[in-house]
Chain A
Amino acid sequence: MGLNRREFLKIAGVSVMGLGAPTMALNALFKNQLNASQISPNPKALHAKRWAMVVDLKKMNKEIVEKCIKACHSIHNVPHIPDKKREIKWIWETHFEHAFPEQAHEHMDEVLEHIPVPVFCNNCENPPCVQVCPTKATFQREDGIVMMDMHRCIGCRFCMAACPYGSRSFNWQDPRPFIVKENPEYPTRTKGVVEKCEFCAERLEKGLMPACVEASEGAMIFGDLADPESEVRKILRSRYSIQRKPGLGTRPAVYYLI
């Protein structure tokens, strides 16, 4: 026969590839193609070129912040995990020196020093988390919202390392046992994926404002930065506003009025 082992292996390898390739090609060609023209957004959805949030710290107090947190965490099935190391939080309360470490100093306005500052994902215009995600599981929409695709996330947590604001949480375990009351209209997450605030994208597409904005009794305003007549633009024109870590060039979509 005269065929040695090396030649046999080479022929076998080529045959496998030769059989496999056309099969895969045929499969791809004749697979039932779904027609993308059947798809459209919800007609009630709110649209914007650049969504932004303005937090009026002068109107903030402990009750309002707690209402905002409760609204967000309850409708999004955010679990309440007592172990601080594994906690998951989309929005939480902190103080000025932690939210704005570069602006805080020793002789601050006493009121400002103690105001509860709600912090959450800034949905940056230049997001480092999107830049580092290896699967585009976190991606930026055209309207500026930084979204999470829970179906694609591999749980590498590179986005958590990249976020300069600590806005992201990871599911170190199955979150369901820790959900106080499930909202049956919104999914939970599963262990092994990263989650964060997404400016209530699922509410925006039904024509509703983000949950925290609704619960905030006017202390938080949401709108389109590209529209010069929007509430957010008007208030930013008339009041002094700051952002978190502006020197990093992330261009957050969240502004704080002090």
Chain B
Amino acid sequence: MFEKAFHGGRKYWTVVAILAAIVGVGAICYLWQLKVGLKITGMSRDVSWGFYIAQFTYLVGVAAGGVMIALPCYLHNYKKFARIVVLGEFMAIAAIIMCLLFIIVDLGKPMRLFNVLLHPTPNSILFWDMIVLNVYLFLNVVVGWAALEAERFHMEPAKWVKVLAVFSVVWAPCIHIVTAFLYSGLPGRHFWLTAIMAPRFLASAFAAGPSFIVLLALIIRKYSKFDPGREAIQTLAKIITYCIIINFCFFLFEVFTAFYSQIPGHMNHFKYLFVGLEGHGKLVPWMWVSMIGMFIVCILLVIPSIRRNEGSLAFCCVLLIITTWIDKGLGLVTGGFVPNPLEEITEYWPTVPEALITLGVWATGFLVVTILYKIAVSVNEEIEA
């Protein structure tokens, strides 16, 4: 089936070329980072994790979002999702590849990556994160490919494929639960030391992941003969609505605990993010855009006529992705580090090389998605014919 990736129209090759160019620019910047060190980023002694790890955190949720299609389809026989379940799996592949790349570009000594395998350390959550991410990647590659191939030959997928598919539905929440545990078990960081970190990750994942899939499905319908089905998109929209409302509520629950208890250690991080602390407030406008935007998305998506209109649904999905990205990609990581354990403030903002490397990795993911979706769409067009 891979040969389908090599036969495409002009639009396809243009997209591939542009993405490949962005990947190239990112790769060159990364070579410079390897030579000079991570000082080309905006990270500091106080904010020792930044844009790279934040993107990883966000994308791990997006990767698991595909399970929101697989779960009704494989566990509850919801046939309407049968056509797009492969879209979820392929997007998960791209997202996991991005996660792994972001971890690698963040390492100070990436050539020693093998040490994590040579010296397994079960008490470290990073060890489990590595296992969980790689197994999930393997599952999606195998199940997605086998299911698509079976569909191509008008056959039911083999029994072991279905078994692995059900297993991947169970495994998917693990990837962002484990990633949430990276943060929620650290005694010194009160912004993260909360049991609701894992539920928040789950809720935003199941809102953001399907939003990506809805947008990609609409794009596919526009540019090919593959129609994912109106009803499938509507069901996804309902799932997105509930999950984004739950995500927003979880955030409000955190605000309540911090500000009703009036404990400075808990309040300070929220204050830094939303009103600034001691004159430092680079992230304040971003956080308000994120929260107000998320609230608007909640209201809009609840209104049935807005959900049913695919144009306004697409707008809501875009806004949802932007607002959840700001929340996880900027607010979560920086907010945890500011103020530092000695109650001092060092702000963080990504530098241009850091942003270019980040864009390069995002472009890699989009390139993978483009190629894989091209294969899926071509196979489906072949079946229809």
Q: Which residues of A contact B (CB under 8 A)?
A: 84-88, 94, 97-99, 101, 119, 128, 131-137, 152-158, 160-166, 169-174, 191-194, 245, 248-250
Contact = CB atoms under 8 A, between A and B. Distances in A.
Contact of B45 (A87, A131, A191): A87
Interface in B116-159: 116, 118-119, 121, 123-127, 130
Contacts of A158: 124, 126, 182
6 contacts: A85-B346, A153-B112, A154-B113, A161-B189, A164-B189, A192-B109
A86 B119 CA distance: 29
Contacts of B265: 101
A88 B45 CA distance: 8
B37 A171 contact: yes
A156 B119 CA distance: 15
Contacts of B186: 128, 132, 161-162, 164
B108 A170 contact: yes
Contact of B108 (A85, A101, A153, A249): A153
Given A85-B346, A153-B109, A135 B188 contact: no
Given A161-B186, A191-B108, A132 B39 contact: no
Interface string B35-55: 011110101111011000000
B341 A192 contact: no
A154 B342 contact: no
A170 B110 contact: no
B188 A248 contact: yes
Instruction: Give the secondary structure class of A's interface.
Output: loop
Contacts of A101: 265, 342-343
A131 B188 contact: no
B188 A97 contact: no
B108 A248 contact: no
Interface string B150-181: 00000000000000000000000000000000
A98 B344 CA distance: 8
Given A84-B45, A98-B344, A162-B188, 6 more contacts: A85-B45, A132-B126, A135-B112, A153-B108, A165-B188, A249-B187
A174 B341 contact: no
Given A134-B130, A162-B186, A171-B108, A99 B342 contact: yes
Contact of A166 (B112, B121, B340): B340
A249 B41 CA distance: 34
A20 to B, nearest CB: 17
Contact of B119 (A94, A135, A162): A135
Contacts of B336: 161
Contacts of A157: 48-49, 106, 108
B220 to A, nearest CB: 30
B124 A165 contact: no
Contacts of B182: 158
A158 B109 CA distance: 13
B38 A172 contact: yes
Given A128-B187, A133-B124, A156-B126, A86 B39 contact: yes
